[in-house]
Amino acid sequence: MNALENQGLVELACREDRPELSALEGRPVRWADRLTPYGHDILAYGQSRPRAEPSPGNAGTDRQLVELIPSQMAALRVFVGLTGQLQVPPVDGLAEQVRTASCDHGIKRWRLNLTQKQRSRWRMGCGCTG
Looking from the CA of 8 toward its CB, the CA atoms found within 13 Å total 3
Do both 18 and 71 map to the same domain? no
Do both 113 and 88 map to the same domain? yes
Judge whether 48 and 59 are in contact, CB under 8 Å: no
Judge whether 76 and 126 are in contact, CB under 8 Å: yes
Do both 60 and 121 map to the same domain? yes
In degrees and rounded to multiples of 5, residue 107 shows phi and psi of -105, 0
Do both 70 and 105 map to the same domain? yes
Do both 63 and 22 map to the same domain? no
Alpha-carbon gap, residue 80 to 116, rounded angstroms: 17
Instruction: State how many domains the chain has.
Output: 2
pLDDT in tens, 65-76: 889 999 999 988
Structural domain for 27, as ranges: 2-48
pTM to 2 decimal places: 0.52
Do both 20 and 74 map to the same domain? no
pLDDT in tens, 6-22: 888 889 888 898 899 99
